[in-house]
Structure 1
Amino acid sequence: MSKVVQLHSKDDVVISLHEIRKGENIQIQTADKALIDIKARDDIPKGHKMLVQSVKQGEDVLKFGYSIGKAKEDLSAGEWVHTHNLESGLHGILDYTYQPTIQNSTAVEDSKYTFQGYIRENGEAGIRNEIWIINTVGCINKTCEVLAKMGNEQFKDRQIDGIYHFSHPYGCSQLGDDLTHTQKLLAALAQHPNAAGVLIVGLGCENNQIEAFKEIIGEYPPQRIKFLKAQEVEDELSSGLRLIEELVEYAEQFERQPIPVSKLKIGLKCGGSDGFSGITANPLVGAVSDLIVANGGTTILTEVPEMFGAETILMNRAKDEETFQKIVHLINDFKQYFIRHDQEIYENPSPGNKEGGISTLEEKSLGCTQKGGHATVVDVRPYGERVVKHGLNLVNAPGNDLISVTALAAAGAHIVLFTTGRGTPFGGPVPTVKIATNSDLANRKKHWIDYNAGQLVEGQKIDELRQDLFQYILSLASGETKTNNEQFGYREISIFKEGVIL
């Protein structure tokens, strides 16, 4: 088996599939199919890049067929290419021109695929029959935590998939848009169809008052969402348990039934990326995303700062010029967010990314955006709002794992596909599928990792793994299996914070 892989015939670098020692001869196949030997000039860690042809100082270095940065000095074939000799070529706010690319057909197939889910009163599908407790303010996190524990003990034999509370510190003294962001995010979670019933618990004196919060939630069946103000009852625990019992009785009316894949919404996320992310897990997820979209379903891509450097690929896949302009605003508005806080726009990747072989933001973004496959971008949604169109959607949120997974769930994702080369136990409020980019991680962290995309560099074909992962998703949606985050209780939310606190 080859020790390296070249991702595009124009690339200046290859990726090491195994550690390469200085002085080792590496066989490379050139664009014209000729085989040449290149002697490694440095030790090159697994997942990192080796140069295959000389590059002058200031010239672009290509990977994925695109520039991943500029050479800091003259570079020769066989050199290890990383942060010591490669720098980002990105700078400032850019102007964009709509140049639509010809895409593969994204026409919806007459889908044969279904999953066993729950149809809610509003016609939406859910894949879990859970009770969620959402607090309007951080002051009552522990009260809600105790309520969830007591509820799970009291109703453990009932026909529900558990009672869950998602802690957060906000809602008390927030102001303006910052408060609105919190309200919209929590309201979107309250409308999530994986929750058969929702208990909203307020304290009573917070800025995020229940009356105002109800208006943001919008229309809802009164049997499905209940409200409790802790300051207005003698015993908030006994009052809360009575309301939870009513929600459990309501939830027990729902039964699993066959539902077409067109009702399924899948979030796309990467975290703790490494040099294999853009080779294995992200392209695999992109292939699954295309399959879901082709069958009438919905996929959701976020992590806006990790689109910087690859944004034009998404822009040129916009379904029309109006959608293109939405993507331009999505990108430039997030850059202005950095500027307002006097931060470098392109200060990325993280230390863990760099250790794994990613050198610049362009390289990270070109790998990251592959999770969106090749489908047309049909819409762009603000932070904290739900998707409304079938197909590939972009959602405004940062790259932070907790915040972005929460935003994907709030946007309506039933499941989040989370690719990782470094590993994390984190899970959001919906099933969070950890997909390893390499087999070492998958074998070492079996209690974190749900699926191993590292098989792609070990002889497995992407078409075979695409179908295998897709079938796993259908099994997960049908309740036949659970993710590690569900089994071990790793369920968290985090809310994007920007603004003044009193």
Structure 2
Amino acid sequence: MSHKILKVHPNDNVLVALTDLPAGEPITYDSISLSLVEAVPAKHKFTQQDMAPGEEIIMYGTLVGKAVLPIPAGTRISTENVKHQANTFSGKNKSFEWQAPDVSRWEGKTFMGFHREDGQVGTSNTWLVIPLVFCENRNVNIIKQAFLEELGFGRQDLYKSYVQQMVELYQAGNVDAIAQLPLQGQMSNGHRRIFENIDGIKFLTHEGGCGGIRQDSDALCALLAGYIHNPNVAGATVLSLGCQNAQVGILEEKLRALNPNFSKPLIVLEQQQEGTEQELLTQAIRRTFLGLIEADKITRQPAPLSKLVIGLECGGSDGFSGISANPAVGQVSDLIVALGGKSMLSEFPELCGVEQEIINRCVDDKTADRFVHLMRAYAHAAEAVGSGFDMNPSPGNIKDGLITDAIKSAGAAKKGGTSPVVDVLDYTEYATKPGLNLLCTPGNDVESTTAMAGSGANVILFTTGLGTPTGNPVTPVVKVSSNSKLAERMPDIIDVDTGPVIAGEKTIEEMGAEMLDYIIEVASGNIKTKAQQLDQDDFIPWKRGISL
């Protein structure tokens, strides 16, 4: 790899700037020699030959756009001169063989996890408090205020103290000092934890459960059932109002579908049956405390790496994401699959243009056909409301070099590695087959990570090039930066830096191996991710058809 430019695939007709390149910069790459027509910022792409309107833009070896203006060689491609274009797709048309990576380094290795009666193994031990409908959010928040600080899960509110200092300065008439007032100290737990084997109590407030369409409530119940079933969850307290669409019976039905022998502690209280708010809350707090006592008796025990279920996510992507962070995560996915574990690739709008490659990786026609059906149904739903996958890239994506959805997708798909696709799951369906699973979700970061935890992920790898402060209430989220500048600028949210790949200091294989070792430490509870340290507990159920 050149320290200045990169050609990602031999068939590409654009090059990637690895550093800021000035106008007039002479470029020599293999048999290519040209001078840049304009300055090209790092992460952006430029043409290696003159291109006429209508000519195809090829990157990652696939169609990612078409020229809409004449583009001289050495010109940066942008939303002004290139528009989204992607390959069409149909059923399987090629056979597929996979060369699994060497995993001898990890054979026999274990992580320290929480074993559940159904055979799943958690990487954390969390208790959930869940409202079945938004009407119960207030009661859930009262329980949260009652529990967190007293049980040692709350953190000292550094910013509250900061405001108090400013109030004191204002009341003393010293307004000028406020502008120079530094923030002092650091966030920390105020009390020693009472339950040493419980990693947290998490409160999944949301705006659903009633109104909308009945399918929304059914999907919400399925999602919440997936969270309760997730191996990282020890038990749950569920608050229902009583009259809402998301009925307790639907939740129980979804739980039985996941596990007919469901045996985790489950406390369900209905406000319209309990009477006063005080009676409801007293019951909920007392019974939850007793449940926590039982959950605390579970301890970490060795588990094979085949019990890992890794969610694969990207958010705040940049022009380097598909070159460093995403391929490194793809390497981890392949290692996990080779070790007998599960990985989960979601964000269907960000698979636009690489569908045929993924279809050909499916283990059989039935799996491939389901992927085709879900992709087309999602695309048609987006078009029906005046949108489309081509509108997926965000302003931040475009600013940092991802100018079409097909460019973004071709890089995003690298998170799925190279292994066969063993199953295709619709939203809220649970991953049960070892290997690479596809999960239908939006490209929206939080909606997607929310879904993966609901489908059984016990660790999530989340790549970012711009910096995204996202976590999950039950599943540790390992944040992976595509470039070292981000890791240096936002060290409070980044766990792993794949910038050395861009610098030519490490290979994708080396980064993947390091990341798997890091995951084992996270799964064992030896490392708390940055998202966990910051209590980033993002939870947004998907209202189908609205999000890309």
Q: Report the TM-score, using the length of structure 1 for normalisation.
A: 0.94
Residue 501 of structure 2: aligned partner: 456
Where do 1:375-454 residues align within 5 Å? 375-429=419-473, 430-454=475-499
1:231 to 269, 272, 277: 272
Residue 16 of structure 2: aligned partner: 15
Residue 199 of structure 1: aligned partner: 237
Residue 531 of structure 2: aligned partner: 485
Q: Which moved more, 1:181-190 or 1:491-500?
A: 491-500
Shift of 1:464: 1.7
Partner Cα distance (1:494, 1:466) in 2: 29
Shift of 1:446: 0.6
2:82 is the alignment partner of 1:86: yes
The 8 Å contact of residues 377 and 392 in structure 1, kept in 2 or not, is answered as yes
- Secondary structure, counterpart of 2:358 in structure 1: helix
Over 3 Å counting, the alpha-carbon distance change for 1:43 and 1:103 in structure 2 is: same
The 8 Å contact of residues 101 and 334 in structure 2, kept in 1 or not, is answered as no
2:67 is the alignment partner of 1:74: no
2:140 is the alignment partner of 1:144: yes
Partner Cα distance (1:249, 1:51) in 2: 63
Over 3 Å counting, the alpha-carbon distance change for 1:467 and 1:350 in structure 2 is: same
- Secondary structure, counterpart of 2:149 in structure 1: helix
The 8 Å contact of residues 344 and 457 in structure 2, kept in 1 or not, is answered as yes
Shift of 1:220: 5.5
Partner Cα distance (1:2, 1:343) in 2: 39
Q: Which moved more, 1:110-119 or 1:277-286?
A: 110-119
Shift of 1:24: 1.6
Where do 1:67-466 residues align within 5 Å? 67-90=63-86, 94=88, 96-106=90-100, 111-155=107-151, 156-159=193-196, 160-218=198-256, 219=260, 221=262, 224-233=265-274, 234=276, 235=278, 236-429=280-473, 430-458=475-503, 459-466=505-512
Specify the code of the residue in structure 2 equivalent to 1:420. Answer: T
- Secondary structure, counterpart of 1:383 in structure 2: coil
- Secondary structure, counterpart of 1:346 in structure 2: helix
The 8 Å contact of residues 129 and 194 in structure 1, kept in 2 or not, is answered as yes
Partner Cα distance (1:196, 1:90) in 2: 45
1:56 to 49, 52, 55: 52
Partner Cα distance (2:264, 2:413) in 1: 41
Deviation digits for residues 459-486 of structure 1 (CA, Å, limit 9, x no counterpart) = 1122221111000000000000011111
Partner Cα distance (1:43, 1:108) in 2: 42
Q: Which moved more, 1:436-445 or 1:142-151?
A: 142-151
- Secondary structure, counterpart of 1:177 in structure 2: helix
Residue 3 of structure 1: aligned partner: 4
Gaps of 5+ in 1: 31-35
Deviation digits for residues 326-377 of structure 1 (CA, Å, limit 9, x no counterpart) = 1111211111211332323422211111001011111111001010000000
Residue 33 of structure 1: aligned partner: none
Shift of 1:6: 1.0
Over 3 Å counting, the alpha-carbon distance change for 1:140 and 1:337 in structure 2 is: same
The 8 Å contact of residues 28 and 38 in structure 1, kept in 2 or not, is answered as no
Partner Cα distance (1:326, 1:183) in 2: 23
Partner Cα distance (2:490, 2:391) in 1: 29
Deviation digits for residues 254-298 of structure 1 (CA, Å, limit 9, x no counterpart) = 111110111110000111111101110000000110000000000
Partner Cα distance (1:167, 1:51) in 2: 48
Over 3 Å counting, the alpha-carbon distance change for 1:193 and 1:53 in structure 2 is: same
The 8 Å contact of residues 300 and 413 in structure 1, kept in 2 or not, is answered as yes
Gaps of 5+ in 2: 152-192
- Secondary structure, counterpart of 2:361 in structure 1: coil
Residue 495 of structure 1: aligned partner: 541
Partner Cα distance (1:393, 1:321) in 2: 15
Specify the code of the residue in structure 1 equivalent to 2:225. Answer: A
Percent identical among aligned pairs is 36
Shift of 1:190: 1.4
Deviation digits for residues 9-49 of structure 1 (CA, Å, limit 9, x no counterpart) = 2211111111111112123223xxxxx54211011111001
Deviation digits for residues 229-277 of structure 1 (CA, Å, limit 9, x no counterpart) = 2333342222111111222122122111110111110000111111101
- Secondary structure, counterpart of 2:20 in structure 1: coil
Partner Cα distance (1:106, 1:225) in 2: 41
Specify the code of the residue in structure 1 equivalent to 2:329. Answer: V
Over 3 Å counting, the alpha-carbon distance change for 1:97 and 1:182 in structure 2 is: same
Deviation digits for residues 61-91 of structure 1 (CA, Å, limit 9, x no counterpart) = 1111112111112322211112111111249
